[in-house]
Every structure is written in C-alpha cells, then in structure tokens.
Structure 1
Amino acid sequence: MSDPNSASQISFAQAFFCSAFAACFAEFCTLPLDTAKVRLQLQKKVGIDEDPSLPKYKGLLGTMKTIAREEGITALWKGVVPGMHRQCVYGGLRIGLYDPVKTFLVGSAFVGEVPLYHMILAALLTGALAITIANPTDLVKVRLQAEGQLPPGVPKHYSGAMDAYSTIVRQEGLGALWTGLGPNVARNAIINAAELASYDQVKMTILKIPGFTDSAFTHLLAGLGAGLFAVFIGSPVDVVKSRMMGDSTYKSTFDCFLKTSFNEGFLAFYKGFLPNFGRVGAWNVIMFLTLEQAKRFFSG
C-alpha cells in the first residue's frame, strides 16, 4: 500500500479482487463485533422514569452475550449476506481504486514518498464514490442487525437480505435504499481516508525504524494505527448513520444530529467507541494482512 508505484505492479482487476477478498474475509471475522456496535449505537439513553436496570446492552462482550443468549449465536452474524455484498462492492472499489487514483494525483512519473495530502485526497474520493454505489447494501445490513431489538412476539420485517431489498423498494420506494447517504458518504470518505492514508503513513514511519521490515508484524501495527485513527475521526458520523438507517423517525441528517446531541449529549456520538475500535481495529488488521499477502501473490 505504501509503495507509490504499487498500482503498476498488478492490474486493476487483480487489485479489485484482492481488495474485495480481503474486505469480505475481515467482514466475516469481525461481524459479531459490528452487530454489537450497532446495537449499542441504536440504544437510546435511559429516561428518568425508566427502569434503572436498563440499558439492555452493556459493553462489547456483554452485548454479544446478550444477543447470543436471547437470539442464538447465529444472530451475531445477522446481516452477513448484505455485509458480503457491501464489501465486494465498497471494499473492492475504495481499496482497489486507491493506488491508481493516488498515482493519477501525483503523476505516473513521480518518484519517492507520496505526500500525505495526496493520500488523503485519493482516499476521500474513492471512499465517497464506492459508498454511493454500495449504500443499499449498507442500509440492508443495518436494518437486519437492528431487527434483533424488536420485542418478543413481534414479527420480523424481513426474512433475509434479498427480501429486505425488495420489501424496502416496494414499501418505501427505490430511493429509500439510499437512506442516510449523506452521513454515509461523510463517514466512509472520512474513515477511508483515515484508514488508507494513515496505514500508508504509519507503515512508512515504521519502516524507517531500524530493524523493522515490510513484514506481517509491521502490517499488524500499521493496521491497528489505522483502525484507531479511523474510529476517533469517524465515530460521530458513524452513530448518526446507524441511527438514521435503523430508525426512520429522523427527518434528516441534521435532525438526527440535533436530537441526539440535545437529548443525550455530545458523548452520545462516541457511544460504542470501544466496541467500534475493537471491531474496526480487528477489521483493519485482518484486512491489511490479507490484502498485503494477496497483492504479493499476484505481483510475484
């Protein structure tokens, strides 16, 4: 990822395949953490007159245990099908296009370390483009994950991913598949820049330290750094995105932001920060480790 000429070493088709495969593998491994994160973000603050034993979900592991106990362990992978759809499209495009766009911005004749602002701009562009195309898959994944909060005995809205797509289009219109597009574009463009640009920057910094080589351990450290930076930067828009997709009562992105801030305070935008980092950190480590190995396989 940090080699400015890496885009020329493999074709875009190969880069897209490597990126989609790495993203899907990371998604499958960390989806239980994402399910717990979404439940914690959708959970509203307990009111004065409500049962003090609430909220229902407490902490990453506690939320996962509650979901597994009440809904079965497979509920932790609820939304895995649209999650795979999303990563094939979104992951393949945002990561696969990153090196070519970065090379385009600096010029094919450029030699040396790519400036950080070029990395950030390239990642912002590919993240925004990719999620605009993949927003329906993100919406369906969040809707399926949120269904576990329905009271016992209340029928589910969707029987699966494909039923969710068709039901949403039939009942809410085709445009509903792009619900939450504004915060989703903001979130994913920002997080993509935080992940890819910071991964490149952290990796280049580590490789300047005596004794460090372009190894799996370096990729692991750079992936953790990328995950931490991405969560810190992207948590507020991530919370707004999850709430808009999982709760149709919000009129707009601004309405969701105002209501959340007014009713629950600014810290609500960092609700689920630790499970979010647990998920995003693990996701980045797995994805970048897999991606680096896949690209090495094709580049020889």
Structure 2
Amino acid sequence: MVADSKGSSNISFAGTFAASAFSACFAEACTIPLDTAKVRLQLQKSATAGDGLALPKYRGLLGTVGTIAREEGLAALWKGIVPGLHRQCLYGGLRIGLYDPVKNFYMGGETVGDVPLTKKILAALTTGALAITVANPTDLVKVRLQAEGKLPPGVPRRYSGALNAYSTIVRQEGVAALWTGIGPNIARNAIINAAELASYDQVKQTLLKVPGFTDNVVTHLLAGLGAGFFAVCIGSPVDVVKSRMMGDSAYKNTLDCFVKTLKNDGPLAFYKGFLPNFGRLGSWNVIMFLTLEQAKKFVKSIESPSH
C-alpha cells in the first residue's frame, strides 16, 4: 500500500489484505478505550436551561476514561472490542488492501513519476466508501455497545454481547436496521479514509525527498501523525453526526441530525471531542501505519521466494 515511488504492488492482494487487517485490529485493540470515551463525549447532550447548573458527567478525554473505569470497571473501556475487530478486519483490510489496485486503475497504467494527489484522494474515497458499505453493521453494533453506560440496579442490558446485538437488532428492527446511519457513515469513512491514506502517502512521499529522511520508522511515525491530524480536522463533523444518529433514533435523517445539532448545541458541537478524536485517530494511525509497514515487509519476505 501507500507505496514508495516505485510502487510496492509486489505483494499479492491477499497479502496486503492480511497485513492491513492485522495492523488495523492491533491499532484498534490499543486505542479502543479512547474511542469509547469519544463516543460517550459525543453523545452527551449539553445541559438544558431546566437542569440549572448541571455539570456534564464526562469531562475531557482522560476524565471520561477515568469516570467510565471508576463507575463501570476497566473492562467497560473495551466495550465494543469484538465488533470493533470485526469492523477492522473487513473495513481495514478492504480500504487499505484495495487502495493500490484502485489507485493504479485511476492512473490507467501510467506509473511514470509520482501519483498526483487528486488520484490518491479519489482512490481513497472509493475504497473507504466500498469498505464501510460492507462493514456498517459492525460499526452500528460497536457504537451501541459503547454508548450503554452504567445502568440502574435491576435494569437489564440491551445486548449481552456483540453476536447477541446483531441478532437482536435483526429480530427487533429488521435486517435493514444494520445499515442505520449508512449515509453519514459512507461520508465519514470515505472522507476520513481519503484524509488518512492520501495524506500518509503524500507526507511520506514528501519526506523521502528531504535529505536525511529514509523509508524508516521516523518517517512512518511523522507521516502517521500527519494522517491522523488531517483525518480529524476533516472528519470530525461527520463523525459527530454519525455517532449521534447511531446512538439515538430521534433523528429523521443526516440533515435533520446536522440541523438539530447546530441549532441546539451550536457549531462547536461538531468539534466536540476534537482532542479525544485526535488522541484516538492520531495514536491509531501511528500504531496502524507503523505495524502495517512492518507487516508488509514480513509478507514480502514470505512471498518473494515464490517469485
């Protein structure tokens, strides 16, 4: 993926898919507590006038992590890890595994010189949209499991686990409900995928032209941080709308959710949890890309003798 200028499509699609899925799952397992905190912060409605001076329950990323751990136990921070891993296998594997083939398709066989940024963005938009269309049910279940906080005594949980959540949603709401929020989710993931993959590709390509920079861990680390930052700046508003639509069925559609959020909570609500989002996506991208570069080297070493 995210190749050097020579193009590293010398790994098979299966190899790239496996390396991508593994890297995405590893990054997910490391950073899901931050993601759970982010979902809780995004779903927290601002205090209404009638509440007097009610302070928000969750404050700040680490404060939210602390509150969840204190009230619900440490394991609660990994709520949604099972569908999270389902999602990363499908979504991570497809969006990254297809990136190089789709980029080459848009290049139409011209592989002379650097790939233009527009083609990188177009390829990443395409693979992000395709991958999340397949993986949307896993995303929905993940958000629903993460959204459930501490329950009063005697109140049963909506779902006993990930597989139970899939079957309960199908039974109670129908199969189509698994694709709830597919509109904002396609928008969010196509945009964030483009921001991540195209900016990683671009930052890495630019750094490699700077004297002293080689294709090593420092370059991968800086490119990964750049990818996370661009992804959060561009993706935060659609991310908030997606979390609110998946966590609360009061919204009619994407536009309704966008307008109500703007009217009730103001424009800054779209950047609610910006720092937790960057903490999450920044660290996620660094871990994922560092792991991916190593995983691809490993796959290449296995595959190369057969060439």
TM bin, normalised by shorter chain, reads: over 0.9
CA distance in structure 2 between the partners assigned to 1:238 and 1:154 by the alignment: 30
| Long gaps (5+) in structure 2 | 302-307
Q: Tell me the amino acid that sits aligned with residue 16 of structure 2.
A: A
- The 3 A distance-change label for structure 1 pair 266 and 32 is same
Question: Would the aligned equivalents of 2:33 and 2:77 in 1 still touch at CA under 8 Å?
Answer: yes
Identity over aligned pairs, percent: 75
Question: Would the aligned equivalents of 1:179 and 1:245 in 2 still touch at CA under 8 Å?
Answer: yes
Deviation at 1:52, TM superposition (A): 2.1
Q: Deviations over 1:15-58 (max 9, x none)?
A: 00000000000000000000000000000011122152420000
Question: Would the aligned equivalents of 2:184 and 2:241 in 1 still touch at CA under 8 Å?
Answer: yes
Secondary structure of 2:160's counterpart equals coil
CA distance in structure 1 between the partners assigned to 2:111 and 2:7 by the alignment: 12
Secondary structure of 2:236's counterpart equals helix
Q: Deviations over 1:207-262 (max 9, x none)?
A: 11111111101100000000000000000000000000000111111111111010
Secondary structure of 1:49's counterpart equals helix
Secondary structure of 2:211's counterpart equals coil
Deviation at 1:155, TM superposition (A): 1.9
Question: Would the aligned equivalents of 1:120 and 1:193 in 2 still touch at CA under 8 Å?
Answer: yes
**Partner residue, 1:110:** 111
- The 3 A distance-change label for structure 1 pair 298 and 108 is farther
**Partner residue, 1:163:** 164
Of 242-251 and 143-152, more deviation after overlay is shown by 143-152
Question: Would the aligned equivalents of 1:4 and 1:103 in 2 still touch at CA under 8 Å?
Answer: no
| Long gaps (5+) in structure 1 | none
Of 139-148 and 7-16, more deviation after overlay is shown by 7-16
**Partner residue, 1:288:** 289
**Partner residue, 1:43:** 44
Equivalence map 1:1-300=2 (5 Å): 1-3=2-4, 5-148=6-149, 150-151=151-152, 153-300=154-301
Q: Tell me the amino acid that sits aligned with residue 199 of structure 2.
A: S
Q: Which runs of 4+ in 1 moved over 3 A?
A: 4-7, 149-153
CA distance in structure 2 between the partners assigned to 1:17 and 1:283 by the alignment: 18
Question: Would the aligned equivalents of 2:60 and 2:276 in 1 still touch at CA under 8 Å?
Answer: yes
Question: Would the aligned equivalents of 2:95 and 2:128 in 1 still touch at CA under 8 Å?
Answer: yes
CA distance in structure 2 between the partners assigned to 1:20 and 1:154 by the alignment: 37
CA distance in structure 2 between the partners assigned to 1:183 and 1:80 by the alignment: 22
Q: Tell me the amino acid that sits aligned with residue 103 of structure 2.
A: K
CA distance in structure 2 between the partners assigned to 1:26 and 1:6 by the alignment: 25
CA distance in structure 2 between the partners assigned to 1:54 and 1:180 by the alignment: 30
- The 3 A distance-change label for structure 1 pair 195 and 272 is same
- Computed over aligned residues only, the root mean square deviation of the Cα atoms, in angstroms, reads 1.2
How many residues are aligned here? 300
CA distance in structure 2 between the partners assigned to 1:288 and 1:256 by the alignment: 33
Q: Tell me the amino acid that sits aligned with residue 77 of structure 2.
A: L
Question: Would the aligned equivalents of 1:36 and 1:60 in 2 still touch at CA under 8 Å?
Answer: yes
Deviation at 1:109, TM superposition (A): 4.5
Secondary structure of 2:155's counterpart equals coil
CA distance in structure 1 between the partners assigned to 2:248 and 2:150 by the alignment: 11
- Scaled by the length of structure 2, the TM-score of the pair is 0.95
